[in-house]
Amino acid sequence: MNNQERMHVVSKAIIIDQEKILICKVLDLETKFYYLPGGHIEQGESAHNALIRELKEETGFNCKIKRFLGCLEYSFKPGQNSICHNHEYNLIFEASSDLLKSTKTIISPEKHIELVWMPLDKLDTIDFRPEPLSELIPQWLNNDENNVFKSQMI
């Protein structure tokens, strides 16, 4: 695998409703962990369009991007958090959907994940990945404009 294949760029959403954040739980791997909805940006696709597409695929709902919150550059040991890459750029946006928020139980069209409403202040109590986001999300939601890029390299 060359270096380009080991580096991924993803667009992810923070969707909040009544102090709860919508997250995905992995169902098809031995280790169960949680992450923000969203996914890989395809060649020639904007981060915004990728996120709209990924949210529709994962939730079944049309969502709207409200604002860019920040970017987390993150690396980890191969095999530690992923079988396909070890360096990623996470572009994080705040998003919304009126239909999504009115639906307390959301069944994902994608069978390998479960959608969960988690209290925002409990992210640090679960296996949430990448780990630095559990601390950055509350900061970014409070609009700390001086801290929109974070790098954590090994």
* pLDDT, mean of residues 137-153: 76
Mean pLDDT of 130-141: 94
CATH code assigned at 57: 3.90.79.10
d(CA 6, CA 153): 14
* pTM of full prediction above 0.85: yes
Res. 141 pLDDT band, cuts 50 70 90: very high
Average of pLDDT values for 39-46?
Answer: 94
Q: How far does CA 20 lie from the centroid of its chain?
A: 15
Q: What is the pLDDT of residues 45-76, one digit of tens each?
A: 999 999 999 999 999 999 999 999 999 999 97
- Nearest partner of 127 among 6, 18, 8, 30, judged by Cα: 30
Structural domain boundaries, residue 86: 3-152
Tens digits of per-residue pLDDT, 11-27? 999 999 999 999 999 99
Q: Looking at the 3D structure of the chain, how many domains does it have?
A: 1
Strands (DSSP E) contained in 53-145 are: 64-75, 87-96, 113-119
Q: Residue 8 pLDDT > 60, yes or no?
A: yes
